[in-house]
Structure 1
C-alpha cells in the first residue's frame, strides 16, 4: 500500500490540473442532474469552515499526511494499511494545493435533489480518498 500513495497523489493532482485548465465556476453537467463539474477555489476546510486559513490547514494536512506515512512504515494489517494510505494521499494532496496555490481545487459537484446531498459542498479526489480511507479504517477496526 505504501507504493500506492504516490499514485493516488498523482491522480489527485492531475485531476486538479485538468479542472484548472478546462472548468469554470459555471456548473457543467456530467451525469444528468447527479454530477456536475464546477470549479471552486476553496481557501477553507469542508463546509466553508476556517475560510482564508489555507496556510494553517496546509501545514496541518502536511503533518497529518506525514504521520500517516510513518504509521504505514510500521506495517499495519492490509485493510488498515489501505485506509491509512488513502487518508495520507488525500491529506497530502490537499496540502500540496493549500501550500502551493493558496487554495484547494474542488470540482466534483453533486447536483442531486436528494435531501442529504442537495447542498453538499463541491469536493475533489483527495477529499474522496480521505472519506473512503476513514470508512476502510472503520471497517478494519470492526474486524
Structure 2
C-alpha cells in the first residue's frame, strides 16, 4: 500500500507589497527619510536666522548714549563762538544750536523734522521686530540711535517741545556743516543699509542675488 504524502508545495504569494524603501525616500544607509513639515522648516529657519531685534536695540542704545553724553559734555564745558582746535583748522569742536535737520538743513521746519524723526523711530522698531540679518540690525540700530538722539533734543531743549534746537559740535574743515554723533550714526547706518542692499543681503537673513547667480 503506497503512502500518500500530504505535504503541499509552498505557494508563491504574489499579493505581498514590496516594502523596501524607495531610493528617493531613503538616505545613504538605506533608512527612510521623512520630508520636513512646514512647521519643521520654519523652526529650522528660525534656528539658522534668529530674530535680531536685541542686536538692533543694543546698537541703538550705544549710539544714543554716546550722542547724549558728548552733547552734555559739550554744553557744560564749551561756549558758543569759542571753538577748540583738535587737528589744526581741519577738525575743531564748536558749539552750535541747530534748529534744522542734519548738517543744518531745513532750519525753518523744526516741528516737521521732529515729527519725521518720530516716524523714523516707530518705523525702524516695527521693521526690527521681524529682522533676521545681523548687518541690517546694525545699520538700522545706528539709524535708530541717531534719530532718538536728535529727537530728544527736539523735544526737551530750548526754545520748547517739538521746536528744540539740536546740539552740534563737530566741525570738519570750514566748508562742511557742523554736526554731532547722532548725525554721524544716521549717515553711517544709511550707508551700511545701502551696501547690504547692493550686495543682495536681505533683512530676513538670506542673500537673494547670490543664490540666483549660483
Q: Which TM-score applies when normalising by structure 2?
A: 0.60
Alignment partner, residue 128 of structure 1: 184
CA offset digits 1:59-96 (Å, max 9, x no partner): 21122012112211112311111111101111111111
User: How many Å separate the matches in 1 of 2:94 and 2:105?
Assistant: 20
SS in 1 for 2:168: strand
Alignment partner, residue 193 of structure 2: 137
SS in 2 for 1:13: helix
Q: Which has the larger radius of gyration?
A: 2
Q: Which TM-score applies when normalising by structure 1?
A: 0.88
Offset of residue 47 of structure 1: 4.6
Alignment partner, residue 43 of structure 1: 99
Relative contact order higher in (CA < 8 Å, ≥ 6 apart): 1
Does the Cα contact within 8 Å between 1:54 and 1:99 map onto a contact in 2? no
Structure 1 stretch 67-76 or stretch 121-130: which is displaced more? 67-76
Offset of residue 12 of structure 1: 0.7
Does the Cα contact within 8 Å between 1:82 and 1:133 map onto a contact in 2? yes
Does the Cα contact within 8 Å between 2:103 and 2:178 map onto a contact in 1? no
Q: What root-mean-square deviation, in Å, do the aligned CA atoms of Structure 1 and Structure 2 show?
A: 1.5
Does the Cα contact within 8 Å between 1:69 and 1:85 map onto a contact in 2? no
2:59 is the alignment partner of 1:4: yes
Alignment partner, residue 57 of structure 1: 113
2:78 is the alignment partner of 1:16: no
Structure 2: which 5+ residue stretches go unaligned?
1-54, 158-163, 200-214
More strand by share: 1
Q: 2:169 aligns with which of 101, 107, 121?
A: 107
User: How many Å separate the matches in 2 of 1:142 and 1:56?
Assistant: 31
User: How many Å separate the matches in 2 of 1:75 and 1:91?
Assistant: 19
Alignment partner, residue 139 of structure 2: 83
Does the Cα contact within 8 Å between 1:90 and 1:126 map onto a contact in 2? yes
SS in 1 for 2:66: helix
Alignment partner, residue 95 of structure 1: 151
